[in-house]
């Protein structure tokens, strides 16, 4: 089961709202049937890890949207022990390390971990691990966990959230982002918003087309899963892109708007 975000999406407008979705040349396929398109495997991610990293290093949805939002929600991290769950090639881990955090990273893709090690150094604390399995860390090992664009790749949240809660100390925080459930309803108006639904979309990474599979769940199902795992919601954020975003990267339909609907961000506190 994939545990790392690979968003390389374009934006399109729907219902008068700027929303993330497949670009003009993309074909989205909401699909609740397990037989039509299989989920990505670690080997699949290994195969396009380098292309993904190149494509997203300076792209809107990572460099100017998700990463700045996650760092803003994390606040002062100096001296905090942070697990980057689904670290990919390590850009968020690098920023947290530069801010004074003691960062441990994990990713299901060995190729991504190799790229993260190139970025962070040979001594970086990095692990190949799957969020769908028990984590290789002691109880209360971390002050914070960041999971940037990870959980929407997982059908089951109960096990991963319980494990992330286990490795957090008292009062620890889980700071996460997922595909905005309302954006799914805008991009796929005929789909059932309230159903747990698997859907696939194609993305272009450095000229290569890759199909990614996600799981949509409604907002109330997210909140229920957080509570069941022992978290309370401390903050919800629908942020604008970073102030220094190049105008040419912004999606169409942004005239007169300060933000677009794409990802939803949470700060959860362990209880």
Strands (E), the chain: 11-14, 17-20, 29-30, 81-85, 102-107, 125-128, 142-148, 168-179, 197-205, 208-216, 231-237, 263-270
- Across the range 220-235, mean pLDDT stands at 98
CA gap 203, 212 in Å, rounded: 7
The pTM (predicted TM-score) of the whole model is: 0.87
| Residue written as token pair 């049937």 | 33
Over residues 79-106, the mean pLDDT reads: 97
- Residues 75 and 173: their CA atoms lie apart, in Å, by 11
Helices 42-56 and 110-120, interaxial angle, to 10°? 40
For the cut 50, the answer to whether the pLDDT of residue 54 exceeds it is yes
Give residue 260's pLDDT: 87
How far is 186 from 184, CA to CA, in rounded Å?
A: 5
Which tens digit of pLDDT belongs to each residue from 203-219? 888 778 888 899 999 99
Each residue of 155-198: pLDDT tens digit? 999 999 999 999 999 999 999 999 999 999 999 999 999 999 99
Contact between residue 211 and residue 201 where contact means Cβ atoms under 8 Å apart: yes
Provide the pLDDT for residue 159: 97
DSSP assignment of 146-212 equals: EEET-GGG-S--HHHHHHHHHTEEEEEEEEEEEE-HHHHHHH-TTS-TTS-EEEEEEEEETTEEEEE
Tokens of 186: 């805008």
CB atoms within 10 A of CB 14: 18
Radius of gyration of the chain (CA): 17
pLDDT, tens digit, for every residue of 7-45?
A: 334 333 333 344 565 443 333 455 643 334 445 565 567
Name the nearest CA neighbour of 72 among 177, 226, 206, 223: 177
The rounded Cα 83 to chain-centroid distance in angstroms is 14
268 forms beta bridges with 174, 233
Average pLDDT of every residue of the chain: 86
């Amino acid at each position: 089961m994939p545990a790392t975000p690979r968003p390389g999406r374009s934006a399109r407008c729907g219902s008068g709202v700027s929303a993330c979705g497949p670009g003009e040349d993309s074909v989205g396929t909401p699909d609740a049937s397990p037989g039509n398109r299989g989920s990505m495997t670690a080997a699949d991610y290994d195969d396009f890890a380098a292309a993904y990293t190149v494509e997203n290093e300076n792209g809107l949805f990572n460099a100017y949207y998700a990463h700045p939002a996650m760092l803003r929600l994390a606040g002062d991290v100096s001296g905090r022990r942070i697990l980057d769950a689904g670290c990919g090639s390590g850009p968020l881990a690098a920023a947290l390390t530069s801010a004074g955090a003691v960062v441990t990273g994990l990713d299901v893709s060995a190729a991504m971990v190799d790229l993260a090690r190139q970025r962070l150094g040979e001594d970086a604390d990095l692990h190949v691990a799957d969020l769908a399995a028990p984590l290789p860390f002691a109880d209360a090992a971390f002050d914070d966990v960041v999971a940037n664009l990870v959980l929407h790749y997982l059908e089951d949240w109960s096990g991963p959230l319980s494990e992330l809660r286990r490795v957090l100390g008292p009062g620890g925080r889980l700071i996460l982002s997922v595909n905005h459930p309302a954006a799914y309803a805008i991009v796929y108006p005929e789909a059932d918003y309230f159903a747990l639904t698997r859907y696939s979309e194609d993305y272009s990474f450095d000229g290569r087309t890759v199909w990614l599979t996600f799981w949509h769940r409604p907002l109330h199902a997210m909140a229920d899963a957080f509570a069941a795992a022992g978290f309370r919601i401390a903050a919800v954020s629908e942020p604008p892109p970073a102030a220094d975003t190049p105008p040419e990267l912004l999606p169409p339909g942004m005239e007169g708007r300060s933000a677009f609907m794409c990802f939803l961000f949470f700060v959860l506190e362990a209880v």
